Amino acid sequence: MSTLTIILIAFVAFEHFYFLILEMFLWTKPKGIKAFGLKSKTFAEETKVLAANQGLYNGFLSAGLVFSIIQKDINAAIFFLVCVTIAGIYGSYSTKQIKLFYVQSIPAIFALITIFIN
């Protein structure tokens, strides 16, 4: 893996670890409420179990990407980057927020491009 590829994969892994923190631990806090544009603290409280579950999945994506870097496993990197890309596409489509695509899918797509170029 090239240095650029490793940096991009690490960036995507960091993003998803940050999403884990936001969704599992900060969902009902002002930072989480603001980050996700939640309507109210009450709504955040009512949905915190769902958000924590979602955060856990983001943690698994992050762990898989870190694993791919440590093991220098291109196939694992491709698999997890494609998962991230699909999650970003679906999240953007289902919430009607194109920002999700830019924040989640675009960095993963850039990482995939660097893999396929090398």
Q: Report percent pLDDT > 90 for the chain.
A: 93
Predicted model pTM: 0.91
SS3 content of the chain, % helix, strand, coil (to 5): 85, 0, 15
Which residue is listed with tokens 């989480």?
Answer: 32
Whole-number Å distance between alpha carbons of 27 and 60: 18
pLDDT value at 1 more than 90 = no
For residue range 15-58, list pLDDT tens digits in order.
999 999 999 999 999 999 999 889 899 999 999 999 999 999 99
pLDDT for position 28 = 95
Whole-number Å distance between alpha carbons of 61 and 18: 11
pLDDT value at 118 more than 90 = no
| Domain definitions of the chain by residue range | 3-117
Whole-number Å distance between alpha carbons of 24 and 51: 6
